[in-house]
Amino acid sequence: MIPRGLRKRLIVYSLRVSNLVAGYTGYGFVCSALKGFSRVHPYLDAGRRKAVKKNFLMLRGSLEGWERTFHYYWSTVADSLMIPHVDENWLKAKLLRVEGLEELERFRGKPLIVISAHLGNPDVLANFAGVLGFKGVAVAEVPSGEWFREFLKIRERFGVKIIPAKKSYQRLVDYLRRGEGFVYLVSDRLVTKERGAVVRMGKGYRRIPTGFARLSLETGVPILFGYGVPVEPCGKYVGFISPPVKPRSLEEGIEWFAGLLETAVKEWTDRWFVFQDEWLDRVDGRDDAV
């Protein structure tokens, strides 16, 4: 067993070396190398393999195509590694189309809450938002300082600023009230102390944070759901933006998001990068179930 401190250090060095290699060798080499690794990774990591298979069974009732999750995942890692070495034109060329882009345009220069998911790569999506001119702040879990600084080279490359999730709620409220830009949240980021709401998804139940709805109710700022997925490994991305809503209650906001999220992850299960078993064996406390 590798000690936790050493494991973090190895991750930092691995990320640093990978970024350097990507800049030196170019995108074609990085894609080829990671495509090769994606074929063996599921057989080296029993925990992630088991989680991905369960996702397929719970959402689709079938294991068909579960291996593709690893192919798509590592292709988005290749995209992430290239971000520090490319210009805006490279990234724009990776974006095939965005359905519902006009919904974002309506809020250019205004506050907006954008809730997303681990569909595709959130780091790549944040940079897409940056090059399209939709500036804002994104909430992220903050590991060790050195590790985080390495990730910032990717996450903040094109204008979206990262703030730590811990104790972020009031900062986000103030930011939205000042009307400075968008707040980007990935659906598993906790920005409140609440455990989250239990929602039905496919054949099971999952818990999702409630912070996005709390923010909207407190500030009056609308929410929309957006995500982007690669159409093929190391290929271009398609994006999807929902119409905005202003929920009248926490329950209404959660139900709205849960419905959109379930539809999206059922369609794009092989591009839903959730590698932990987050399915609930039973619904604890029916009072918070949606």
> For 91-97, which contacts have Cβ atoms below 8 Å and span 24 or more sequence positions?
91/127, 91/128, 91/131, 91/158, 92/131, 92/132, 93/236, 94/124, 94/128, 94/236, 94/237, 95/128, 95/228, 95/236, 95/237, 95/239, 96/231, 96/236, 96/237, 96/238, 97/238, 97/239
Q: Are 130 and 157 in contact (CB under 8 A)?
A: yes
The SS3 of residue 208 is: strand
Q: Could you report the per-residue pLDDT of 256-290, keeping only the tens digit for each?
A: 999 999 999 999 999 999 999 999 986 654 444 44
- Enumerate residues 6+ apart whose C-beta is below 8 A from 256: 223, 245, 247
What residue has token string 């074929």? 39
| Paired tokens of 272 | 């839903």
Confidence at 228, pLDDT banded by 50, 70, 90: very high
Average pLDDT (154-163) is: 85
94-98, 156-160, 261-265: range with lowest mean pLDDT = 156-160
Residue 248 zone, left/alpha/beta (φ > 0; ψ -120 to 50; rest) = alpha
User: Which residues are bridge partners to 95 per DSSP?
Assistant: 237
- How many CA atoms are closer than 13 Å to the CA of 167, on its beta-carbon side? 0
Give domain limits for the chain.
4-288
For 65-80, write each residue's pLDDT tens digit: 999 999 999 999 999 9
pTM value?
A: 0.90
255 sits in which H/E element: helix 250-267
C-alpha distance across the termini of the chain, in Å: 40
Q: Is the pLDDT assigned to residue 145 strictly greater than 70?
A: no
Q: What is the mean pLDDT of residues 233-248?
A: 96
Contact predicate 154/23, CB 8 Å? no
128: which residues sit within 8 A by CB, 6+ positions away?
91, 94, 95, 228, 237, 239
The C-alpha atoms of residue 54 and residue 60 are separated, in whole angstroms, by 10
Q: Which residue has the tokens 């903040």?
A: 156
Q: Identify the helix (H) or strand (E) that includes residue 185.
A: strand 182-186
